[in-house]
Amino acid sequence: MMCGKSPFSPLRQEVKKWQGAQFQAFAGGVWVDIPQMGNAGGQFGRGWNDVSVEFVVTEKKSVDLGVKSNWGKDIWWGATRFRLVKLAGTESANISISSAKYSTFIAPFEVEIPAVLAAYTVDGVEDNGSTLVMTEVETTIPANTPVVLNGAEGVYEVSGVNVATQDSYTEGLLTGVYSETNAPVGSYVLQNKSEGVAFYYVEEGKQPKVKANRAYLTVPAEANVRALFFGDAEATAIEGLGALTEGNIEGIYSANGVKVGALQKGVNIIKRLDGSSFKVMVK
């Protein structure tokens, strides 16, 4: 009979300590927990686990790889057979915001929205036939989703794994493209003209280029507007300054319904003789 302490007591104590530790495999700021007990086999029958971490490497960015623990130095463990597997090619794209503060954008990968920008999908047209319905995108722009961006002037580089399978994608009223193309006749393209920053109607023989990673807008034919402008809280529309001098209007009203003699800064409501109306935003 063996007397004294069991020769396996230190091992059991070590296992007990180890069970309170947390191990993680990491790649840059991305990490994944490693289960404390293995599947099967391994030294002392403790087993082993296979874990993986996905990360993106670009020419301008290095990534540290490794395994870490939140425990002290009084435990031991091992990590072997590190492998790097290329899942797919990564691409980069630039979000360019001019002094006009607006742009369109699409990327073949998810994009975390820069803190100084806001992103919107364009989902439809209001019952008045001239005002766009827009929904803000929270935190991340999904891959292959065209959006309108608004915010601080600058160029913002983004990158990710390309998951696109076609050259253009449509979401709501926006169609985003991955190669430069002529805007279709009857569509609308974001431009900065004398009337202001707006989506302007594309006429036959005057088709502007839509650059790669940008988008154009298409509205139902019944919208019948020359351009769609952005207001402080919503997009507003105008048929063109010429419409204000054609003699077919009943009057100009402020946002609170007071008739005014001329366009004022802010939102103006233009009422036609046929009873219809539309809004004009004056910057």
Q: What is the pTM of this model?
A: 0.56
Question: Is 82 part of a structural domain of the chain?
Answer: no
Residue scoring higher pLDDT (196 or 175) = 175
Q: Per mean pLDDT, which of 7-16, 48-57, 193-202, 262-271 is the most reliable?
A: 193-202
Looking at residue 75, its pLDDT comes to 60
Question: Is 34 part of a structural domain of the chain?
Answer: yes
Are residues 266 and 188 part of one domain? Answer: no
- First-to-last alpha carbon distance for the chain, in angstroms, is 96
Are residues 143 and 193 part of one domain? Answer: yes
Q: How many CB atoms lie within 10 A of CB 268?
A: 21
Q: What is the pLDDT of residues 212-240, one digit of tens each?
A: 999 999 987 655 677 776 654 333 333 44
pLDDT at 67 over 80: no
Give the confidence band of 176 by pLDDT, cuts at 50, 70, 90.
very high
Give DSSP secondary structure letters for 159-196: EEE----SSEEEETTEEEESS-EEPPTT-EEEEEETTE
Question: Is 230 part of a structural domain of the chain?
Answer: no
The mean pLDDT value for 117-125 works out to: 87
Domain that holds residue 15: 9-69
**How crowded is the C-beta side of 122, counted as CA atoms within 13 Å?**
30
Are residues 245 and 192 part of one domain? Answer: no
CA 161 – CA 151 distance, rounded (Å)? 25
Q: What is the pLDDT of residues 126-156, one digit of tens each?
A: 665 566 778 899 999 999 999 999 988 899 9
Question: Is 103 part of a structural domain of the chain?
Answer: yes
CA distances for 195 relative to 5, 128, 164, 200, 261, angstroms? 90, 21, 36, 10, 20
Number of compact structural domains in the chain: 3
CA distances for 56 relative to 4, 65, 112, 218, angstroms? 56, 12, 14, 35
Are residues 198 and 110 part of one domain? Answer: yes
Lowest-confidence segment of 29-38, 78-87, 95-104, 197-206 by average pLDDT: 78-87
Give the confidence band of 169 by pLDDT, cuts at 50, 70, 90.
very high
Q: What is the pLDDT of residues 238-255, one digit of tens each?
A: 344 444 435 567 888 887
Q: How many CB atoms lie within 10 A of CB 159?
A: 18
Are residues 251 and 214 part of one domain? Answer: no
CA 268 – CA 265 distance, rounded (Å)? 8
Looking at residue 173, its pLDDT comes to 93
Question: Is 250 part of a structural domain of the chain?
Answer: yes
Lowest-confidence segment of 13-22, 175-184, 199-208 by average pLDDT: 13-22
Looking at residue 182, its pLDDT comes to 96
Question: Is 253 part of a structural domain of the chain?
Answer: yes
